[in-house]
């Protein structure tokens, strides 16, 4: 395989570890924990893995030589740093005992069920150290939830003499990791399951998890591109750029990119929902800014739109809820119909209010909302062209205002979607170190007999040697939510908090950014050079951790 000059140099980067993980390790246990909500329900569903203590690693004098083979799975969307979790895990289990072996299950959780795997060795791992992507073993979105799947998985676990499975995934995948841990514990199979917090979306975080890996690199990649567009925009002064940014539900990515690049407008889905805004109200707000800037001779600007926006417009959110229930109940008969009949089917089954909302949506958007969900029950928002929908509506509003003599100017819009571009970028120093430490922590959790835990690394705004590594019981992060029409135990997703420091920082400056031109150009991720550039964390992390 031919590799780039950057890859060659980057292969030699040795990720830094927290002090506690640099030599022999011992465990310090905290007080018993409880779930964030619905404690009785969660306790009943997870009798063997509920209430376990938080775990922190400390340097030890005596080494643990645990003999263990481990299986690893990459689950869900790609996030920069996944290969470094695998490297950290590999190096740590070999440090514990050189005879330990690591097996990677191929193409996501489905690899465990279908017995598709490869052994990860020092040789084949070398080409993937510090690289982006999940291509070493591939990823997938198969949902591990049925007993047959768990039992099928057990066959290969026994065959390879595997002691523990590490699932690297987002909130849904870690929820499944917890269900699997509970199942194997209840059956006394002696197989441990450990999770690792992955997702560029940044929505797997809480009091224990400071950030999910990949968010740092992905947002830096998007911020570079947005900055480049802003500079182009401010040079030609003739276009409005509507940029949709990935992040299925939460707006953390859009918010972080806005804090890094200071665009004219950044929508935040959680605010739209809290203010009960209609699509029309959002459009009027944007059109007012366009009109104001035009009055100053500035017929240009940049608007950031979170990918999940559409689901947060309350009327559309209610429609999606009803569509979810409808698809859950009648999915089979509905999916066999042709396009026109599906639309008709939906229109005859929806309540009057939701039917009215459905009818106002452009056909393409309505169709996306009524398509089949992903295996975790999510609307596939990255396929909806919200940026075009909004800019077309802004254009129509401005044309109306022009007729009424309320606006004079030119409005020419360009559209972009930044999502897949950032998910496999070479991990920043932060993600390279963070992921390596998460992999090492996962190995230590296994060596210390833990199951149903997620590996964590805290104090991440300090230097790496001051980072604190350990584990958190996954049940601690759970509550009950409605999924596919049923109440299920799930890890609570972290949305943007409107009273949180990052959102407040946006609010404090956004009026100025809308009226004036205050663009900031972050430039590309730097892997070598001054620490002030190379080791920068995200503004979100900085604002949240230093409040």
Q: Which residues are catalytic?
A: 201
Instruction: Give yes or no for residue 77 binding ligand FBP (CB under 6 A).
Output: yes
Read off the DSSP letter of residue 300: -
| Alpha-carbon torsion (120, 126, 129, 132), positive or negative | negative
Element (H, E) at 446: helix 429-447
Instruction: Give CA torsion, residues 40, 45, 46, 47, to 10 deg.
Output: 70
For ligand FBP, the binding residue among 91, 201, 216, 271 (CB under 6 A) is 201
Shortest gap between Cβ of 454 and ligand FBP (angstroms)? 15
Length of the chain: 547
Pairing of strands 478-483, 486-491: antiparallel
For residues 303 and 525, the answer to whether their CB atoms sit within 8 Å is no
Shortest gap between Cβ of 310 and ligand FBP (angstroms)? 12
Instruction: Give yes or no for residue 247 binding ligand FBP (CB under 6 A).
Output: yes
Site string for ligand FBP, 375-404 (x = CB under 6 A): ------xx----------------------
For residues 77 and 382, the answer to whether their CB atoms sit within 8 Å is no
For ligand FBP, the binding residue among 87, 100, 175, 199 (CB under 6 A) is 199
Shortest gap between Cβ of 22 and ligand FBP (angstroms)? 30
CB of 18 or CB of 170, closer to ligand FBP: 170
| Alpha-carbon torsion (291, 296, 302, 304), positive or negative | negative
Tell which positions 132-171 bind ligand FBP, by CB under 6 A: 170
For residues 155 and 115, the answer to whether their CB atoms sit within 8 Å is yes
SS3 of residue 393 by DSSP: helix
> What is 87-106 written as a DSSP string?
HHHHHHHHHH-TT--EEEET
For 194, residues 6+ apart whose C-beta sits below 8 A from its C-beta are 164, 165, 166, 167, 177, 442, 445, 446, 450, 451, 453, 454, 455, 471
Site string for ligand FBP, 421-450 (x = CB under 6 A): --x---------------------------
Asked whether residue 453 is marked as a ligand-binding residue, the answer is no
**Using CA atoms, how far apart are residues 217 and 66, in angstroms rounded to an integer?**
34
For residues 330 and 338, the answer to whether their CB atoms sit within 8 Å is no
SS3 of residue 286 by DSSP: helix
Shortest gap between Cβ of 361 and ligand FBP (angstroms)? 19
CB of 77 or CB of 502, closer to ligand FBP: 77
Asked whether residue 460 is marked as a ligand-binding residue, the answer is no
Tell which positions 272-311 bind ligand FBP, by CB under 6 A: 307
Tell which positions 473-492 bind ligand FBP, by CB under 6 A: none
**Using CA atoms, how far apart are residues 55 and 18, in angstroms rounded to an integer?**
15
Shortest gap between Cβ of 346 and ligand FBP (angstroms)? 23
CB of 75 or CB of 444, closer to ligand FBP: 75
CB of 383 or CB of 507, closer to ligand FBP: 383
Asked whether residue 527 is marked as a ligand-binding residue, the answer is no
Which of 197, 98, 82, 90 has its CA nearest to residue 131?
82
Give the tokens for residue 212.
């999910």
Shortest gap between Cβ of 77 and ligand FBP (angstroms)? 3
Q: Which stretch binds ligand FBP (CB under 6 A): 14-22, 183-191, 196-204, 482-490?
A: 196-204
CB of 163 or CB of 244, closer to ligand FBP: 244
Instruction: Give yes or no for residue 248 binding ligand FBP (CB under 6 A).
Output: yes
Distance of CA 434 to the CA centre of its chain: 15
Shortest gap between Cβ of 400 and ligand FBP (angstroms)? 33
- Residue 306, phi then psi, degrees to nearest 5: -70, 140
For 186, residues 6+ apart whose C-beta sits below 8 A from its C-beta are 47, 48
For ligand FBP, the binding residue among 15, 18, 71, 76 (CB under 6 A) is 76
Give binding residues for substrate as ranges. Answer: 199-201, 238-239, 246-248, 307, 420-423
Give binding residues for Mg(2+) as ranges. Answer: 171
Give binding residues as ranges. Answer: 77, 171, 199-201, 238-239, 246-248, 307, 420-423
Q: Binding residues for ligand FBP, per CB under 6 A?
A: 76-77, 79, 170, 199-201, 246-248, 307, 381-382, 423
């Amino acid at each position: 395989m031919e590799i780039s000059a950057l890859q060659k140099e980057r292969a030699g980067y040795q990720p830094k570890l927290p002090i506690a993980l640099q030599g022999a390790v011992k465990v310090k246990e905290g007080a018993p924990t409880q779930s964030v909500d619905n404690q009785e329900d969660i306790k009943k569903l997870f009798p063997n893995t509920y209430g376990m203590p938080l775990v922190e690693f400390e340097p030890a004098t005596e080494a643990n030589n645990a003999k263990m083979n481990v299986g690893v799975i990459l689950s869900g969307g790609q996030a920069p740093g996944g290969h470094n979790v695998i490297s950290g895990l590999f190096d740590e289990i070999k440090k514990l005992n050189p005879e330990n072996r690591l097996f990677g299950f191929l193409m996501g959780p489905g690899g465990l069920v279908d017995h598709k795997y490869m052994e990860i060795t020092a040789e084949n791992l070398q080409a993937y150290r510090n690289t982006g992507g999940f291509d070493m073993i591939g990823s997938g979105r198969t949902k591990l939830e049925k007993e047959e799947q768990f039992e099928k998985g057990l066959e290969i676990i026994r065959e390879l003499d595997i002691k523990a499975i590490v699932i690297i995934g987002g909130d849904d995948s870690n929820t499944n990791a917890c269900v699997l841990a509970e199942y194997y514990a209840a059956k006394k199979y002696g197989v441990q399951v450990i999770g690792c917090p992955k997702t560029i979306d940044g929505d797997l975080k809480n009091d224990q998890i400071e950030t999910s890996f990949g968010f740092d690199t992905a947002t830096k990649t998007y911020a570079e591109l947005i900055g480049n567009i802003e500079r182009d925009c401010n040079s030609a002064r003739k276009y409005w750029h509507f940029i949709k940014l990935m992040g299925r539900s939460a707006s953390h990515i859009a918010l972080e990119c806005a804090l890094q690049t200071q665009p004219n407008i950044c929508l935040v889905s959680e605010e739209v929902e809290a203010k009960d805004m209609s699509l029309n109200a959002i459009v009027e707000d944007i059109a007012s800014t366009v009109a104001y800037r035009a009055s100053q001779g500035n017929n240009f600007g940049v608007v950031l739109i979170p990918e999940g926006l559409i689901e947060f417009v309350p009327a559309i959110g209610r429609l999606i809820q009803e569509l979810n229930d409808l698809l859950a109940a009648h999915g089979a008969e509905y999916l066999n119909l042709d396009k026109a009949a599906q639309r008709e089917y939906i229109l005859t089954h929806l309540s009057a209010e939701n039917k009215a909302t459905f009818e106002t949506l452009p056909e393409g958007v309505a169709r996306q909302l009524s398509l089949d969900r992903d295996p975790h029950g999510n609307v596939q928002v990255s396929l909806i062209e919200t940026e075009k929908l909004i800019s077309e509506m802004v254009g129509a509003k401005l044309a109306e205002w022009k007729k009424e003599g309320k606006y004079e100017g030119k409005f020419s819009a360009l559209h972009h979607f930044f999502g897949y571009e950032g998910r496999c970028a070479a991990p920043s120093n932060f993600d390279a170190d963070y992921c390596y430490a998460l992999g090492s922590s996962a190995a230590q959790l296994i060596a210390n007999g833990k199951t149903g835990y997620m590996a964590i690394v805290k104090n991440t705004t300090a230097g790496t040697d001051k980072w604190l590594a350990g584990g958190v019981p996954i049940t601690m992060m759970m509550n009950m939510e409605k999924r596919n029409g049923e109440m299920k135990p799930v890890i609570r997703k972290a949305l943007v908090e409107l009273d949180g420091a990052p959102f407040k920082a946006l609010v404090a400056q956004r009026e100025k950014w809308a009226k004036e031109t205050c663009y900031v150009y972050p430039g590309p991720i730097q892997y070598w050079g001054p620490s002030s550039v190379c080791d920068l964390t995200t503004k979100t992390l900085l604002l949240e951790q230093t409040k």
